[in-house]
Amino acid sequence: MYYIYHKTPIGNIFIAGDGKVIKQMSFPEGSKQRRPQPDWQQTKQPFKRAIKQLDHYFQGKLKTFDLPLDPDGTEFQQQVWKALLDIPYGETTSYGELAQTIDRPKASRAVGAANGANPIPIVIPCHRVIGSTGALTGFGGGLPTKQWLLAHEQSHLPKSKRAAQQYQFDF
């Protein structure tokens, strides 16, 4: 496996993969930080495309990532992560709405757990899932990072598409 730390406005993001696909990404802070294994090699080469797309995302120029991904997870987690990719840039959905999207309307807690286990945040946009009341609930990168990402996306939408909603923290 290969890895790199890439500097972004929210800190150094960890990216890891096998040279062909991205397997992991993590925030510099929060409960879901990932670290390289001792036998992994630090190199930028396999991640040039991911770095370019992340830079464009943080500049507000990229709304949808186009990267080869291969996150490890259960069949249910994979189903949730696939549904996350369908949440449009600058929009949010709730855990319950996401559960309905995958035809598991009573599985909102399981959807929340799968969302929290997402090994490739930002690219697989788990930050776009909020509580049914509009509260910003648990996030592996920390709630301030989630708030920053949502505000960043809102700020790069045309004014007519910006949400009037102010997010609430659920600490």
Q: Does the predicted model carry a pTM greater than 0.85?
A: yes
What CATH number does residue 164 fall under?
1.10.10.10
Same domain flag for 132 and 82: yes
Q: Give the per-residue pLDDT at 169.
A: 47
* Structural element, H or E, at residue 13: strand 11-17
Q: Does residue 65 belong to any structural domain of this protein?
A: no
Question: How many domains, in total, are found in the chain?
Answer: 2
Same domain flag for 43 and 18: yes
**Which residues on adjacent β-strands are paired with residue 41?**
2
Same domain flag for 53 and 91: no
Average pLDDT value over all residues in the chain: 91
Asked if residues 71 and 118 have their Cβ atoms less than 8 Å apart, the reply is yes
Which are the catalytic amino acids? Answer: 126
Q: Give the per-residue pLDDT at 162.
A: 66
Across residues 45-63, what is the average pLDDT? Answer: 97
* Structural element, H or E, at residue 78: helix 75-84
Q: Which two tokens stand for residue 120?
A: 């490739």
Q: Does residue 156 belong to any structural domain of this protein?
A: yes
Q: Which two tokens stand for residue 123?
A: 């690219």
Same domain flag for 14 and 80: no
Q: Give the per-residue pLDDT at 171.
A: 41
Q: What are phi and psi of 124, to 5 degrees?
A: -95, 100
Q: Give the per-residue pLDDT at 164.
A: 55
**Residue that is written with structure tokens 């069949």 in the block:** 75
Which residues span the domain enclosing 46? 2-58
What CATH number does residue 53 fall under?
3.30.160
Q: Does residue 63 belong to any structural domain of this protein?
A: no
> Residue 139: is its pLDDT beyond 90?
no
